[in-house]
Amino acid sequence: MNIVVQKFGGTSLSTKERREMVVDKILEAKTKGKAVVVVVSAIGRKGDPYATDSLRNLILADNPSCSLRTMDFLMSCGEMISASVLSALLEQHGEKVIVLNGAQAGILTDDDFSNAEIISIDEKKILSYLQEEKIVVICGFQGISQSGDITTLGRGGSDTTATALGVALNAEFVEIYTDVDGIMTADPNVVPTAKIIEEINYEEVFQMADKGAKVIHPRAVEIAQKDNLVVKIKNTMSKHPGTSIHHYRKNGESRYSTKMKEKLLTAITHKDSIAQVSIFLEDDLQLESTLLTTLAKNNISIDMINFFVNKKIFTIDLSQVPLLKKILNELELPFEIIEKCSKVTIIGNRITGIPGVMATIVSALSKEGIKILQSSDSHSTISCLVKEDEATRSVNILHNAFNLSV
């Protein structure tokens, strides 16, 4: 049985016209002899009646401290609504369909409400329905804990559901449908000349997602990578072949397509709403340890970490600045905070050990009067912190400097 998992996001399901396009994609796969498993997100986005955020606001408006268990119970309804609506439409087209929520699909999770992780998937029920030639429509973003409670998987949870099911069912590939033609060299709303990336490996797309690109959730990429599951990012509203995410080319000869080989970089991303923190702390290991322990206890995640003997520099999410100020004042530590920064990141597995990459970045930005506040790197990324109002220009400058539009 050649199984394909297709995941459709909220924008793909937001109107009757788009749901008909979704049906066309499902039937096209079935016509090609595929057994089809469909994973759906809640209909629409923030502000739409059945979107996840809209459901959350039904409770938060009256009780901001509502328990996470109760919140998960409510938020799971969004996907149940969209799964039911799509299943009814498929039935109208004469198809045999079965709709399953996360629990019915055998998705077992831990009990970390609102951010649960999948422990296992019992795929037997799904396989039995596929043997009956039924299209199986499954609610994304949710599962059931070992104690029988409904749980949700956190942001991007439907992507995670799709790749986890792809692995459990030994699917041929997973298709993630959205409202763009594939993964691009930069956000097209920021860089009009951004190009579609035909092929990309897991590490690069993981870095893109982690560094701000809204392409696929990092957890979903990790799951696919472990099993070398091919994932395709495609557009519900077009016939574009999209972007394939995998380890190797189909012929096994290279990790990159021939078209990508000549390019040093794969993509450029950026993430806004970041604050740079400088703490003036003398060589006091005990106080340094107390500071880091206190930050961890308060769930303040730090990034772009540069520690010196008398100065500690790192970045945090802008929303955590008030809490951080309170902690630093209580510890009587002098500090400076630069708010409204952006982290601009170049991504490419080929940059490791290549001289001149950082020189190109510095030269390109400095020529345009853009100051780099801080930098960090890994084997496949280099990140630069800039003022938020200079982020768009920075991304475009670097996109041009590394010839990503060619």
Which residues are documented as binding site for substrate?
52, 79
Answer for the pair 31, 250: CB distance below 8 angstroms, yes or no.
Answer: no
Tokens 């500090």 map to which residue?
335
Tell me if residue 158 falls in helix, strand or coil. helix
Burial class (CB in 10 A: 0-12, 13-18, 19+), 37: buried
Letter string b/e over residues 43-72, b meaning 16 or more CB atoms within 10 A of that residue's CB? bbeeebebbbebbbeebeeeeeeeebeebb
Would you list which residues are annotated within the binding site? 7-10, 52, 79, 178-179, 214-215
- The three-point CA angle 5-1-39 to 5° equals 15
Residue recorded with tokens 């345009």: 368
> What is the per-residue DSSP string for 302-361?
-EEEEE-SS-EEEEEEGGGHHHHHHHHHHTT--EEEEEEEEEEEEE-GGGTT-TTHHHHH
> Can you say which residues are annotated as belonging to the binding site for ATP?
7-10, 178-179, 214-215
3-class secondary structure, 277: strand
Reported for 309-314, long-range contacts at CB under 8 A and 24+ positions apart, including other chains, are: 309/282, 309/283, 310/280, 310/281, 310/282, 310/283, 311/278, 311/279, 311/280, 311/281, 312/277, 312/278, 312/279, 312/281, 312/288, 313/276, 313/277, 313/278, 313/279, 313/374, 314/276, 314/277
In this structure, which long-range contacts are made by residues 354-359, counting pairs with CB atoms below 8 Å and at least 24 apart in sequence? 354/264, 357/264, 357/382, 358/382
| Cα three-residue angle 107-109-110, rounded to 5 degrees | 170
Neighbours of 105 (CB within 10 A): 27
- Looking at the DSSP assignment, which residues form a beta bridge with residue 386? 342
| Contact indicator for 116, 110 with CB cutoff of 8 Å | yes
